[in-house]
A = this chain, B = another copy of it.
Amino acid sequence: MTVKYVYAFSEGNAGMKELMGGKGANLAEMTKIGINVPPGFTITTEACNQFQGTGEILDGTWKQVLKAIKKLETQTDKGLGDSKNPLLLSVRSGAPVSMPGMMDTVLNLGLNTETVKGMIEKTNNERFVYDSYRRFIHMFSNVVLGLPHSSFDDILDKSKADAGVELDSELNADQLKKLVDDYKVIVKNSGLEWPDDPIMQLRLSIEAVFKSWDLKRARVYREANGISHNLGTAVNVQSMVFGNMGQNSGTGVTFSRNPSTGENKIYGEYLMNAQGEDVVAGIRTPLPISDMEKALPDIYKKFWDIVDRCEKHYGDMQDMEFTIEEGELYILQTRTGKRTASAAIKIAVDMVIEGIIPREEALMRIEPSALNQLLHKRLDLSGGEKEAAIGLPASPGAAAGEAVFNADEAQRMKEEEGKDVILVSPETSPEDIHGMIASEGILTSRGGMTSHAAVVARGMGKPCICGCGDLKIGKGECYIDDLVIKEGDWVTLDGTTGKVYKGQVPTIDPEMTSEFKVFMNWADSISRMTVKTNAEVPSDVQVAKDFGAEGIGLARTEHMFFGEDRLPWMRRMVLASTPEERQKALDQLLPMQRQDFEEIFTIMDGLPVIIRLLDPPLHEFLPKDSDEIKELSKALDIPVKTIEEAIENQHEFNPMLGFRGCRLGIMYPEINAMQARAIFEAGLAVQEKGVKPIIQVEIPLIGKLEEFRMINNIIKDVACDMNIAGKLDYQIGTMIEVPRAALTADEIAVEVDFMSFGTNDLTQMTCGLSRDDAGKFLGKYVEKEIYDRDPFESIDQTGVGLLMKICVDKARKIKPDMEIGICGEHGGEPESVKFCHRIGINDVSCSPYRVPIAKLAAAQAVIEERMK
């Protein structure tokens, strides 16, 4: 049996991509469903692979090609090389995986001195024919004969200069005819033979496309994109159609629905007596596709029908190219159309309602991170603004404001002058919170995606760009190369792309459509995981709840201690030299902390709230510069020297692994006792008001069961002392962020009520990477593909993820139904969320603005699981 190397479009279908390439299979599919595609055939990837071995087209293959040509001649009623009614062909590559621009194409094949005459006679358009001919000679000479582009371009330029015109299209028929002659001289002078015989032209063109598979640029592209060198490319030979054959010819591009809004109405443009490139070149203004209804009612009706058929057939919005040749409509290409995020949601929801796709399909259509576009402002770059610098896209959204270089000034400008400001700083610390709150966005020169600025900004839903290395910050001004930005100068940030603009770029507000709500409801109904939020500031908690957060997965109590009314007492607590002094300061903090919890419980009425006890090293609460120390000394009536000694004493080499988390409570039990009391008192207080608090107390940085046990006892002692049994329920659980805790999860599970992965710290410790310092080399790591992605952005599944799986498996052995969550930054990153689902985690928690993203990812995880 002979192997079949050539398939007419009518013999293939969309499932044959591997053999026919993407383009060939798609042309075949359209042909199959009866859409008028210019006829043609595909030479398979197998033929290409065979060619790579031998460097020649086998006789058998060539015979099949000739047979296909014969069939094509019959079908089109034209003849290859026929001087009266010549068949012109396009010869295009088409690999199983798209490799845009990497391989070669020959158009207008079949033209020679004879057929040119026939074409002129037939079209009565000498200019068109000579234009096609000179393009063919140039293309063929370059692709097949290997002559450089420059030889042809030089002559073309000279020809335009001689004619006194600027554009190719301004050359008239005679000038083009002269150009053809000049082109032929180049070929002749090269000593290469010019094939006038269209069959020879075809054979050489096919060989050239096969050869282009093995060109260096194609190999490099495949290596960079992980595409196998063994796939091979198919070759598509298709009869040419022309939209520029007269007033009953034309060409156009259309989307089956509006790609900006998603509206179910075809959307596109067309131009009569024109070729595709004319539409693109913008010399003539194309008409909206709706005009065609009046101008060409029959064709329009036919076209509408095809668009509808294609959309239904592919089950998605289509981006289509068509040509009308002398009144006959041909579809040249149909593919899934690109669209904005809001259009994507509307289209997906509409298609479910229209019965075109099931809900699951709709949910899978949207890339979760694309929701960022919907939830945040974005820039209107129609003015063509160019960025001044690029940093890390640390928190999405767009904002413009006047640059300000410290937190106090930011607050002053906002509050006293009502100005929009952008806080620009080398990095931020918890003490800058008030300035961050006052700012529209934050720009830092240091720090990564999980730096303080990034984490806090994401929590607040404010745009933030971090680690902008080109930015140098001086006194009251900053520099980007030669550009100086002074305090008060306008700056615009696009936190979604990391681009920084000088000046004020207009922004576009997000909108929450009814389709978005429907879509998110579908996601909720499918997903198995609960999505909570990391928030503690009441306004953030409210935002998260509005976004559908089903509770708080992480309320960081330390963030509550930086307020103006609290920090002095917190510092007194840290500087206390006796337990009594410490207790005195804690007594002052207790009612404030209780107030915080009351607000949170009230907003999250009936939903679970995980409150993490004090976590950071105490030195984070101490002042850093000498002015502040002096001020503090005065305020607290403690000698400067004592404060300096305390700061020196609190200094740590590796604070991440130092005196923090549960270790604070083990050394100073009264801190956790105060917090437990504040939580319980708040719980009782809101209960009085008819609110239902669901309390989960979380102990940070547990490495050993014994640590948990000690803090657990402190909390239970407070509960016992307050006699809340039977009056107020609560659970006590632990963060899992120390590798040791994950490894010994079976021991720890025995005594905890719930677990929650702190994947930021877990990643730091498991991978030995300090997130504050890794910026120096992590870029290089990702670039060199040591890590596929920044492990602080997306969970390192094979390393950190393995440890998480060990933990979940061990814990579930002891308590099969225990709540195990994740509250690191990864909780809002789609791949990480899906991974959590796969290893059996129940809860993910993320910053408020990421809640919808996590929800969609959680739903997709279920669907992906079902598809397996």
Residues of A within 8 A of B (CB): 652-659, 661, 663, 666-667, 701, 703-704, 706-707, 710, 737-740, 743-744, 747, 761, 764-770, 772-774, 776-777, 780-781, 784-787, 796, 798-800, 802-803
Contact = CB atoms under 8 A, between A and B. Distances in A.
A23 to B, nearest CB: 36
A772 B652 CA distance: 8
Q: Which of A661, A770, A787 has the most CB of B within 10 A?
A: A770
Contacts of A666: 777, 780-781, 784, 786
A787 B657 contact: no
Nearest to A649: B776
* A658, A740, A784: residue with the most chain B Cβ atoms closer than 10 Å: A740
Contact of A768 (B761, B773, B781, B800): B761
Given A767-B703, A770-B652, A786-B707, A777 B659 contact: yes
A584 to B, nearest CB: 23
A739 B803 contact: yes
B710 A784 contact: yes
Contacts of A767: 703, 738-740
A657 B803 contact: no
A496 to B, nearest CB: 27
Given A740-B799, A743-B766, A799-B703, A657 B659 contact: no
A766 B768 contact: no
A704 B766 CA distance: 11
B803 A743 contact: yes
Contacts of A710: 784, 786
Given A704-B787, A786-B707, A787-B704, A770 B654 contact: yes
B744 A802 contact: yes
A779 to B, nearest CB: 10
A737 B653 contact: no
A346 B767 CA distance: 49
A776 to B, nearest CB: 5
Q: Which of A661, A706, A765, A787 has the most CB atoms of chain B within a 10 A radius of its CB?
A: A765
Contact of A657 (B707, B773, B802): B773
A454 to B, nearest CB: 15
Contact of A653 (B655, B743, B744): B655
Nearest to A709: B786
A653 B765 contact: no
Nearest to A764: B657
A740 B761 contact: no
Contacts of A761: 768
23 contacts: A652-B773, A653-B655, A654-B770, A654-B772, A657-B657, A657-B764, A657-B769, A658-B776, A659-B773, A659-B776, A663-B777, A666-B780, A666-B784, A703-B767, A706-B786, A706-B787, A707-B786, A738-B767, A739-B768, A740-B796, A743-B802, A743-B803, A765-B765
Given A743-B803, A766-B743, A803-B739, A656 B653 contact: yes
A784 B707 CA distance: 10
B654 A737 contact: no
Nearest to A788: B706
A646 to B, nearest CB: 13
Contacts of A780: 666-667
A766 B681 CA distance: 37
Contacts of A770: 652-658
A784 B714 CA distance: 14
Nearest to A740: B799
Closest 3 CB pairs of A and B: A654-B770, A657-B770, A738-B768
Contacts of A658: 770, 773-774, 776
A737 B766 CA distance: 10
A773 B785 CA distance: 34
Contacts of A663: 777
Contacts of A744: 798-799, 802
Name which of A652, A653, A737, A777 has the most chain B CB atoms within 10 A of its CB.
Answer: A653
A526 B798 CA distance: 40
Contacts of A781: 666
A787 B744 CA distance: 14
B773 A653 contact: yes
- Name which of A704, A744, A802 has the most chain B CB atoms within 10 A of its CB: A704
B772 A653 contact: yes
A784 to B, nearest CB: 7
Given A657-B770, A740-B796, 9 more contacts: A653-B656, A653-B773, A654-B655, A657-B764, A657-B773, A706-B787, A707-B786, A739-B765, A743-B802
Contact of A656 (B654, B796, B800): B654
Contact of A737 (B768, B774, B800): B768
Contact of A740 (B652, B703, B768, B774): B768
A447 B125 CA distance: 92
Nearest to A768: B738
A576 to B, nearest CB: 16
Nearest to A659: B776
B766 A740 contact: yes
Nearest to A781: B666
Contacts of A743: 766, 799, 802-803
A699 to B, nearest CB: 13
A512 to B, nearest CB: 39
Nearest to A650: B776
A704 B799 contact: yes
Q: Max chain B CB contacts within 10 Å: which of A707, A776, A780?
A: A776
A487 B666 CA distance: 40
A140 to B, nearest CB: 45
A471 to B, nearest CB: 15
Contacts of A765: 657, 739, 765-766, 768
Contacts of A707: 786
A259 B743 CA distance: 47
B738 A657 contact: no
Contacts of A773: 652-655, 657-659
A651 to B, nearest CB: 9
A374 to B, nearest CB: 35
Contacts of A661: 768
Contacts of A738: 766-768
Nearest to A447: B653
Contacts of A740: 766-768, 796, 799-800
Contacts of A653: 655-656, 770, 772-773
Q: Which of A737, A739, A787 gathers the greatest number of chain B CB atoms within 10 Å?
A: A739
Contacts of A784: 666, 706, 710
A766 to B, nearest CB: 5
B659 A768 contact: no
A417 B798 CA distance: 60
A41 B654 CA distance: 63
A770 B776 CA distance: 21
A738 B798 CA distance: 14
A56 to B, nearest CB: 39
A802 B799 CA distance: 16
A773 B655 CA distance: 8
A845 to B, nearest CB: 21
Contacts of A796: 740
Nearest to A763: B740
A352 B443 CA distance: 76
Nearest to A657: B770
A238 to B, nearest CB: 45
Contacts of A667: 776-777, 780
Nearest to A747: B798
A178 to B, nearest CB: 56
A656 B657 contact: yes
A746 to B, nearest CB: 11
A738 to B, nearest CB: 4
Contacts of A798: 744, 747
Nearest to A654: B770
A239 B663 CA distance: 58
A720 to B, nearest CB: 21
